Structure 1
Amino acid sequence: MAQVVEVTEAAVFHVKEMMRHNGEEGSFLRVSVNGGGCSGLTYGMGFETDKSEDDQLLVQHDLQILVSSEDAGILAGTQIDYKESLMGGGFTINNPNAIASCGCGTSFRTAKKAGTPADC
């Protein structure tokens, strides 16, 4: 069975670097979906120390990742990567469930859950 979210080795490396820099070693990486943005939904990533009952726990490259059961359907098949370019580096999110996305690249829409569009 495929993981709800796949976090590449490059992305995990940078997440762990951020954890060390922020004193968050041992925390979980929370991957979430929030209402808002130009297309209705936005991605969220952050550190948490507690797992709730409705969270799915994924472990990839020794990183513990939390996804709520509510967000799992929207994120199913999503890949999070880290890419470097001449302008710097950053996380990229490829969600096969997104049917529309915004020019800023942080907002998206799916057929599964609609949000209220707002400015980027």
Structure 2
Amino acid sequence: MAHTHSAEGHEPAHVDSSTKTIWKTFWILLGITIFEVGLAFLHLEYNFMPRVALNGIFIILTIAKAFFIVAEFMHLGHEIKNLIMTILLPLLLFVWFIIAFLYDGDSWKRLRDDLKPGTPVEKTLVAPAESHH
């Protein structure tokens, strides 16, 4: 007679705590997302704060969500500091790289806008050449 194991009631204790952690992280992420969407709708309806301030809030909340995702779902929250820095420092360089490209692209766009057809050209006055007779 073959002996079979039933999964009922015999789950390890760490499964219960990891499930609770996942649900806790889910609710935190959901709460932050609902808050962001609410701010966006309020801004569209009432325009209650400057756009730059709202974008700053969105960036901070997005970084908070990224922290929770990386810490819990990628399990970096429980790793040693050196491993975390090995992942975060190249990421910061990548963010800097994106900002640098956006800034450079914007300057090229402004230069191109200055050269559109119909854009008035500033005339440079050139001193007449002296004649040597």
> What range describes the TM-score normalised by the shorter chain of this pair?
under 0.3
The structure with the larger Rg is 2
Query: Which structure has the higher relative contact order (CA within 8 Å, separation 6+)?
Result: 1
Query: Which structure carries more helix by proportion?
Result: 2
TM-score normalised by structure 1 residue count: 0.22
